[in-house]
């Protein structure tokens, strides 16, 4: 712009020089000098304004960075900290194997009150759950952990033993028959290394020193007061199925591993194929009394609204001259064969609905069996047909279980009954 003004003035000066005298030329030169000075002042003002604007932009950028950092800090703070939750559950049952229950038209009882804790404190992860029943109190889990890489996490304490379809090999309130031999949703005391799903595969590795109650010589009043099933002793020939064992045993130094690979085979379709194994020792309080191991192949497939689960495996407790062992949970003792084969097939269909507070229905049929038992007892099997109902904070199972030699359905895994028993069950829980 300055050059253009100077060119215009020079042209004007050249055009009038031939008609002006010397004094006029001096006057015009003076005016030109004044204009140049004014233009220089304007340029300086413009440069000062640009510098001020640059400083203002820099301040705004720093303010934006500060605001963004504060927002991230607030988000991190909101995600950290301890969070509490829990549930209150009640249960109705009508059974074929209890004459009193059947004559009363079934029984409606308090099931449990539970408290859950989760979160992180200063980068240390925590998780836990305690359950209060009318007849006992049980710790399901209690662990501390650390996310030491993006993919790997470590957990130490009472944590879940990785085995079989995850998180459960079932859809119903009763789990599968595997639960009653300690191979579904089992929790023990040890250390777990968990690799989250990345590159289509997942790996869990664990070492469990003993069960959640401290093993064979844990300082507890009753070793049957626990949430998940564990071995508590061996059975002699004259002991009853439900008797407290005279020869105590406990598992110790157990190594576990679970590997799963995920296939995506279309929109809304994903299948997990995996293998699980564990092996450990058995102790009688003085010496090593034997060993135990288990393995399973498992498939968990989601096809749009359908879920299909398959699992097959074996377990084996190696104890001299023993074909039957004692297990404990839910404040009573039971018995299982020392080794057996396990199979299950489950199918479920999820249906989103808008029925007032009801948002989802899941219909399912879960079948599981334990057979080829070392004690030559009759096969155990259970088939559960039902529907789960999600309605806000309420979650309800409506199940009908048909079973033979199945705990909680009129039998025992070590039983030898030819009777097929039935149980209609409604479990209503409020989760918060």
pLDDT digits (tens, 9 = 90+) for 12-23: 445 444 444 566
- Same domain membership, residue 242 and residue 115: yes
356 part of a folded domain: yes
- Same domain membership, residue 125 and residue 21: no
Instruction: Please report the pLDDT score of residue 16 as a whole number.
Output: 45
- Same domain membership, residue 302 and residue 183: yes
Instruction: Please report the pLDDT score of residue 238 as a whole number.
Output: 87
- Angle (CA) 24-26-32 rounded to 5° is 105
| Residue 154 CB partners (closer than 8 Å, separation 6+) | 145, 146, 148, 191, 192, 193, 194
Instruction: Please report the pLDDT score of residue 10 as a whole number.
Output: 47
Total domain count for the chain?
2
Give how far Cα 117 sits from Cα of 148, 272, 317, Å.
Answer: 21, 29, 35
- Same domain membership, residue 271 and residue 147: yes
C-alpha–C-alpha distance, residues 170 and 344, integer Å: 9
Domain boundary among 38, 69, 100: 69
Question: What is the residue whose two structure tokens read 């069960």?
Answer: 211
pLDDT digits (tens, 9 = 90+) for 66-102: 555 565 555 554 556 899 999 999 999 999 999 999 9
78 part of a folded domain: no
| Residue 379 CB partners (closer than 8 Å, separation 6+) | 369, 370, 371, 373, 404, 405
77 part of a folded domain: no
pLDDT digits (tens, 9 = 90+) for 203-227: 999 999 999 999 999 889 999 999 9
CB 339, CB 374: distance < 8 Å: yes
- Same domain membership, residue 25 and residue 87: no
- Same domain membership, residue 233 and residue 205: yes
> By residue range, what is the domain housing residue 335?
83-431
Instruction: Please report the pLDDT score of residue 201 as a whole number.
Output: 94
Domain boundary among 37, 69, 101: 69
31 pLDDT more than 80: no
- Same domain membership, residue 98 and residue 65: no
C-alpha–C-alpha distance, residues 430 and 293, integer Å: 38
Read off the CATH number of the domain in which 223 is found. 2.40.160.10
pLDDT digits (tens, 9 = 90+) for 127-146: 999 999 999 999 999 999 99
Could you check whether the bond before residue 316 is cis, i.e. omega within 30 degrees of 0?
A: no
Instruction: Please report the pLDDT score of residue 341 as a whole number.
Output: 98
- Same domain membership, residue 113 and residue 224: yes
264 pLDDT more than 60: yes
- Same domain membership, residue 174 and residue 52: no
* Residue whose C-alpha is closest to residue 106's, from 118, 97, 114, 94: 94
pLDDT digits (tens, 9 = 90+) for 114-131: 999 999 999 999 999 999
C-alpha–C-alpha distance, residues 388 and 409, integer Å: 19
């Amino acid at each position: 712009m300055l050059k253009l003004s100077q060119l215009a003035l020079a042209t004007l000066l050249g055009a009038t020089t031939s008609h002006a005298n010397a004094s006029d030329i001096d006057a015009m030169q003076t005016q030109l000098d004044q204009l140049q000075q004014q233009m220089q002042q304007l340029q300086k003002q413009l440069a000062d304004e640009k510098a001020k604007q640059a400083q203002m932009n820099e301040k705004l950028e720093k303010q934006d960075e500060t605001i963004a950092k504060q927002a991230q800090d607030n988000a991190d703070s909101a995600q950290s900290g301890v969070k509490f939750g829990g549930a209150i559950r009640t249960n109705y049952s009508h059974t074929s194997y209890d004459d009193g229950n059947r004559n009363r038209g079934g029984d409606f009882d308090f099931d449990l009150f539970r408290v859950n804790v989760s979160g992180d404190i200063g980068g240390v992860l925590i998780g836990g759950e305690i359950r209060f029943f009318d007849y006992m109190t049980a710790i399901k889990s209690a662990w501390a952990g650390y996310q030491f890489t993006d993919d790997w996490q470590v957990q130490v304490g009472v944590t879940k033993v990785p085995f079989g379809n995850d998180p459960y090999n079932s859809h119903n309130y009763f789990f599968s028959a595997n639960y009653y031999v300690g191979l579904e949703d089992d929790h023990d005391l040890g250390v777990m290394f968990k690799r989250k799903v990345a590159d289509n595969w997942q790996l869990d590795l664990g070492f469990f020193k003993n069960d959640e109650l401290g093993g064979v010589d844990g300082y507890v009043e009753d070793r049957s007061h626990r949430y998940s099933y564990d071995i508590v002793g061996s059975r002699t020939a004259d002991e009853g199925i439900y008797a407290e064992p005279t020869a105590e045993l406990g598992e110790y130094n157990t190594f576990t591993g679970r590997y799963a690979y995920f296939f995506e085979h279309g929109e809304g379709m994903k299948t997990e194929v995996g293998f699980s194994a564990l092996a450990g020792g058995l102790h009688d309080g003085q010496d090593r009394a034997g060993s135990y191991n288990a393995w399973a192949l498992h498939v968990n497939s989601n096809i749009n609204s359908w879920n299909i689960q398959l699992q097959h495996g074996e377990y084996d407790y190696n104890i001299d001259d023993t074909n039957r062992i004692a297990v404990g949970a839910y404040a009573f003792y039971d018995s299982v064969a020392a080794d057996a084969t396990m199979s299950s097939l489950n199918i479920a269909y999820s249906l989103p609905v808008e029925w007032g507070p009801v948002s989802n229905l899941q219909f399912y049929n879960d079948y599981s069996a334990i057979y080829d038992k070392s004690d030559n007892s009759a096969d155990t099997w259970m088939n559960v047909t039902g529907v789960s109902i999600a309605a806000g904070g309420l979650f309800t199972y409506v199940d009908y279980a048909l079973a033979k030699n199945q705990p909680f359905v009129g039998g025992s895994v070590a039983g030898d009954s030819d009777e097929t028993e039935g149980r209609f069950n409604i479990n209503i829980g409020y989760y918060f």
